[in-house]
Structure 1
């Protein structure tokens, strides 16, 4: 068999499908392997370049195959799709991966170390706990409303609501018991969330880049930590605009015949990171609209002529560019360059 220069691997839970080509771009490998056979097969293979989709378990396989001397390239699924021929199947997917990784314009996802993967888990676990807390809070509110008991907005109103329920003798005993169960579950979630956030803050305090990013208005410890954890090498982006485009904070371009047609933002890239940036920008805009704090002339003019949500996305775009600059150059945020003036 000729020397294999590229192998595309279509991964799944149990079976991995391989497609390899030689220097003449001739197919020299088509093979199906079980999970147990993968490492044994590649241990006997001379070092080569391997391409996979950046999907579930891809980081694990990338680390394991790299230990065997192979170069592993991960690609976003949406970038691989154009190279998959019709009549999709596992073999065609592997062939498309093998072809996509050969393109000079292809952008690759960096392989994370086990420690980096563990740090990313902090963000994922925190988000999951917040979702479960919100679901449980809404459940408590919904059941309480059926007995005519309502509470103001906010998480702080739930404990007083549960206390009122516990003291209300007009409620059935079974209902009060079930509210106690819900209250215990909510307290447990709160404790776990605080523990995870404490670990997240400890990680943030130990990271110099994250501390510098947190100096940017609208970027607190959570957003700064997410930027550090989820952003690949900032030098891979030619400019802050490319970084903002990677985050999906730039308009869709559907221009033709010399006409420029820009639409809504692309929403490409990491959804959670984009969401955090927009939420932070929204908080800053709310403060500016209420006349609190010092803000740039650009922002004050923006919120005068644009709707709040559009202004929030524009500010998130600007913050993303500033964040890229700080990550790429190692500089600190210079508030004087923003020309801040008091909000009125």
Structure 2
């Protein structure tokens, strides 16, 4: 039988004086951190993978709590800044857009796959879906049931396109109202989408000591496997914020394909002569991340370096 509210007494109670509270940066952690800070306590959030190193044998609530208590007092521990409500709301714009874009891709693949079973095909790309649906209407060999079902998917696809445009308009409005985001948009390869994502995720650039540390946090630096004084560098670590890293790589690819300045840049052309284009895009994304940190930390806009 469950105890009544009047008879329930917690086993442990926080002291009346402010105290240090360590938490793993997991779901709802930022909300509880804000609530505990409002009560006067000092709250430090830590990545779960960093706390794992202090976990001893076995895993249970007591062992996890002991590991958190040990980790929160370490001077070398990296803490996660507590996000405010406005910051989390801005990041939710990107999360919602990313979800809608993935659902749109699933619908396009479903339409293309179903119609291919009946011999109705079209060139790849979301811009060719309209021609694919137009060709379906002209096909007499496709059963009526298939046409009705595809029309149902097409209506859902049109609704998704509308909602993605609505979210894009909100992101653009947030970009125009934020000075940091506007400065970031002056960097080649960074548009309003990438600028708002970085500005909302990193409100305080002083969290990172340098641009290289910011690029490492995004997982755009080589993974090290060094020992015995020998430096061994492998593929990129791919740790950190996956969403921003993907946007930076896509922006770097657009610079390589479409920018005239990239064709005149000796650093980029030298890399293209020796390495594959995708490797060069990741290297350019690394450089863009460093420039973005410098723009945020110094409060300036991007200036193209003068040719020697």
TM-score interval for Structure 1 and Structure 2 normalised by the shorter chain: over 0.9
Give secondary structure in 1 for the equivalent of 2:159. Answer: helix
Are residues 294 and 338 of structure 1, via their aligned partners in 2, closer, same or farther at CA, if it must alter by over 3 Å?
farther
Partners in 1 of 2:258 and 2:39 — Cα distance? 54
Partners in 1 of 2:38 and 2:266 — Cα distance? 52
Are residues 114 and 292 of structure 1, via their aligned partners in 2, closer, same or farther at CA, if it must alter by over 3 Å?
closer
Q: Is 1:305 equivalent to 2:293 in the alignment?
A: no
* 2:218 matched residue in structure 1: 247
Partners in 1 of 2:265 and 2:105 — Cα distance? 35
* 1:90 matched residue in structure 2: 61
The alpha-carbon deviation at position 131 of structure 1 amounts to: 0.3
Q: Is 1:68 equivalent to 2:39 in the alignment?
A: yes
Moved more, 64-73 or 321-330: 64-73
The alpha-carbon deviation at position 318 of structure 1 amounts to: 0.5
* 1:125 matched residue in structure 2: 96
- Greater relative contact order, per chain length (Cα 8 Å cut-off, separation 6+): 2
Are residues 280 and 37 of structure 1, via their aligned partners in 2, closer, same or farther at CA, if it must alter by over 3 Å?
farther
Q: 1:297 touches 1:339 (CA, 8 Å); kept in 2?
A: no
Residue of 83, 92, 102 corresponding to 1:112: 83
Q: Is 1:339 equivalent to 2:302 in the alignment?
A: no
Q: Deviations over 1:35-60 (max 9, x none)?
A: x999x955x64211111111111111
Partners in 2 of 1:37 and 1:220 — Cα distance? 54
Q: Which residues of structure 2 form unaligned runs of 5+?
A: 1-7
Q: Counterparts of 1:189-268 in structure 2 under 5 Å? A: 189-268=160-239
Q: Is 1:78 equivalent to 2:49 in the alignment?
A: yes
Are residues 339 and 213 of structure 1, via their aligned partners in 2, closer, same or farther at CA, if it must alter by over 3 Å?
farther
Partners in 2 of 1:100 and 1:259 — Cα distance? 30
Question: How many residues align structurally?
Answer: 300
* Structure whose residues are more often strand by fraction: 1
Partners in 1 of 2:306 and 2:53 — Cα distance? 42
Q: Which residues of structure 1 form unaligned runs of 5+?
A: 1-35
The alpha-carbon deviation at position 338 of structure 1 amounts to: 5.8
Q: 2:22 touches 2:44 (CA, 8 Å); kept in 1?
A: yes
Q: Deviations over 1:233-286 (max 9, x none)?
A: 211211111111111111112211121111111111111111111111122122
Partners in 1 of 2:13 and 2:139 — Cα distance? 68
Residue of 159, 176, 185 corresponding to 1:188: 159
* 1:56 matched residue in structure 2: 27
Q: Counterparts of 1:98-177 in structure 2 under 5 Å? A: 98-177=69-148
